[in-house]
Structure 1
Amino acid sequence: MTLRIINCQLIGYRLPLRMAWASARGEWRQRRGWLLQLQTAADVGIGDCAPLPVAGTESIEAAQRALLTIQARAVGHDAATLLDVLEPELTATPATRWALECALLDLLSRQRGLTLRHFLVPTAPDVVPVNAMLGALAAVTPLAIHSAVAAGFTVLKIKVGLNAPLTELAQLRALARLLPTGVSLRLDANGAWDIATAQRMLDGLADLPIEALEEPLRQPDVASWTALQQRVTFPLARDESLHIPVAQFPRRIVLKPAAIGGLRRTLALAQQAQAAGCEVVMTSVIDSAAGLWATAQLAAASASPIPHGLATAAWLATDVGIAPQPLRGQLQLPMTPGSGFSPTIT
């Protein structure tokens, strides 16, 4: 059955954050983007385009141009083939391509009466484990630690690499003393350190309950990465540096589907990594509810048991719809067809 697109609507938004989001790659206080809404005679599919260049996407201006191209050309095309038709226009705009594919697969999964995760992988689980996102180390308080633990999270993610290494090590040691058995810290340096600093930090972290450390090196290369990984038992994870070719997967990769450019691309990379023995984590960059629902469905399709970075909705002061809410450190995904997202803005 052909799913003919009869309307394409762009709904812009600016979502303020409850507090500044800070990392070694910069700081921001709002998320700006568009809902891409594709309509057929029977249904509506929605994708989220919220570019963030520091995370590896195109600029907001490039995304807007690409979205206007989609809007000008989408009507009249079959939802099953539209991505192929527009592919040449989207090679340099991964966040826009992600939004288009999400909208199309939302439509196609609804047509089949399937959740998005089961449309992608029929055996996908219905529950996704997630980590707490506590923000920059300097702002993390004992109350934040106690609240996250009380909420059932077993992995607490913290941004590091924003202050002097000795200061951060002292802060991490103080926070680690607050953790009950079975709860650990996931750290993200966002490429803040040179090799010497990274070595000192890893040596200082060796006896702490660290679940993983993401992107320790400012300029990663195979030899430096291998040497660092040999210093610690916990995994070092690649995220922003995934574009740098390597001979083999590291112990863990962190995938941002908006930077990779789509659901199926990201799922294929996850499956390839898992087949090679590499752990996989899906993560958002303070996405709106629309993006968060699609990424949660994708995380379920990956079947990765590692807690994913998807408990971020509370960072937004307002949103475009109801976001998936963690309970006891998990997202329970619905059985309704599609991504699970319903907009509250028009």
Structure 2
Amino acid sequence: MLADLEELVTCESYSADHEAVARSARVVADQGRRLLGAPAELLVTGGVSHLLWTFGTPRVLLLGHHDTVWPIGTLATHPFCVRDGIARGPGVFDMKAGLVQTFHALASLPSLDGVCVLITGDEEVGSGTSRPLIEDLARRCAATLVTEPSAPGGALKTGRKGVSIYDITVHGRAAHSGLDPEKGINAAVELAHQVLAIEDVAAAATTRTGPGTTLTPTLMAAGTANNTVPALATLNIDVRVPTPDAQAVVDRLLRGLRPRLPGARLDIGGGPNRPPLDHTASAHLFDVAAARAAGLGLAPLRQASVGGASDGNYTAGVGCPTLDGLGAVGDGAHADHEHVVTATMPERAALLAHLVGAVQ
């Protein structure tokens, strides 16, 4: 398993680099062919490479992704290594160890009839090209098992917040900042007003729908030169919501933002991306997983609700029972300390195999 993990991690697969993702897809496909005994169907949509294995009539969907958030060249500063029972490297936790565990789990089963495996190449950037495929497969299956990394301590993820992504563009008017600044409309100043207004939107959403909603301004840009009043400014907003109602309320409030400076204009783009994954979508599957873990002599399973989203949000959103976080045990997704506890990899693979067998 560690050799297979090294093979996947050392093939970098930054989401924004479609050529790198294509190379990664070939490596993942070869590993899957060896362990599953069947070739993958390569699906390229919008330049993004996805992989699909289907055995008989699909009943259970195993879902993961092979793209990562790490830019090409990260291996130079974060090389793959295994030391003192800890594996490190870009994407090792999120989620290449989960892919290895998936392949080894399925390789241990006497039959794969009724199983389909989808490994996408754009999960980290919102699954824009893979969402229709994910939802179509989920509608045809009785269960989805997501091998994304576990929550802290190995807990399975039985709830995830929904995600909305917005971009605000402020249109102002340029002017010389020394000769006649009063003739300009400062898009940067207008954007500052909007950042503060977003705090009011968050407070209003919490008042209307309860706690748990967050709006986080992330990327910002304004201006073209030091001596010019900015005519254009942009802002990205990351929104996390606990319920569909909160997602709808935030959408209405953000689209109701109005400019504060005379003459300024706002364009508000984006919107809901992933619906929330409610615990009711996971309850039965978690009970089955807990029973199987006990039968294997593993530590009692725990469950957690998390703010991060995955493609499991999509499968639950179309009504397919979904259990997430069945992948690696470790920590540090998207962070320098990303790592996997290697001793847990066979245990999680065994649990996944037994769970597939129970719902197959």
> Normalising by the residue count of structure 1, what TM-score does the alignment of the two structures yield?
0.29
The structure that has the greater radius of gyration is: 2
TM-score (norm 2): 0.28
Instruction: Using CA pairs under 8 Å that are at least 6 residues apart, name the structure with larger relative contact order, 1 or 2.
Output: 2
